[in-house]
Chains A and B, each alone.
Chain A
Amino acid sequence: NAGVTQTPKFRILKIGQSMTLQCAQDMNHNYMYWYRQDPGMGLKLIYYSVGAGITDKGEVPNGYNVSRSTTEDFPLRLELAAPSQTSVYFCASSNPGQAGTEAFFGQGTRLTVV
């Protein structure tokens, strides 16, 4: 049982390049989330999804896009990378409503835009 798997773990992008951060979970969770973590700022929610085909914006969605074609996968797309998107990105999943449920996090993707 792998939990939440994120790829890649590290990436350096040039300004204006695009990339997709991959996230997959094998726990059959309905809810999935993307957060970014900046020093001294905690985690900010970028996008979330409550099920396949359903996504919604979080606090800081500008510059990002997501899709949810399957329950397992929730990729995050950066179309035109900017230095302000240098951050650590975390994907998480959960199943609210079940007793004792919690959000499970991946190990993160450290992205640097130069």
Chain B
Amino acid sequence: AQSVTQPDIHITVSEGASLELRCNYSYGATPYLFWYVQSPGQGLQLLLKYFSGDTLVQGIKGFEAEFKRSQSSFNLRKPSVHWSDAAEYFCAVGPRDYKLSFGAGTTVTVRA
């Protein structure tokens, strides 16, 4: 069975500081991995995805994520956070991009 764990429920970061969100997955085969962002009252928007190839993936809004098979992890990073990055972030795993399993989410608060 596939599953995702996001260990951090809530992270507070200062504007301009770096951000790292953790994601650990369980999946029997080569996973398809995704990070989505949800702003308040909005649907989910895809930040980036990993299917194969280079394990460091670049996404939109300056985000990147690194796939580490040995650690079953797919952590999301941003070097310098902007106030507009305050949102909820979801990691997901699945075969291709249907029947995804989502983590419980990490809420990011950005302080001035």
Contacts and interface: CB of A to CB of B under 8 A. Distances in A.
Interface of A: 4, 31, 33, 35, 40-45, 48, 50, 58, 90, 92, 94, 96-97, 101-103, 105-108
A33 B43 contact: no
Interface string B22-36: 000000000000101
Given A35-B102, A96-B97, 12 more contacts: A33-B98, A42-B102, A43-B100, A45-B101, A90-B43, A102-B46, A103-B44, A103-B46, A105-B43, A106-B43, A107-B41, A108-B41
Contacts of B101: 45
Nearest to A93: B98
Interface in B83-109: 90, 96-105
Chain A: interface secondary structure?
Answer: strand
B43 A42 contact: no
A26 to B, nearest CB: 15
Chain B interface category by residue count: 20 to 34
B42 interface: yes
A41 B4 CA distance: 11
Contacts of B97: 94, 96, 101-103
A50 B43 CA distance: 21
A31 to B, nearest CB: 5
A41 B90 CA distance: 11
B9 interface: yes
Given A58-B99, A94-B98, A43 B43 contact: no
A45 B100 contact: yes
A54 to B, nearest CB: 12
A42 B98 contact: no
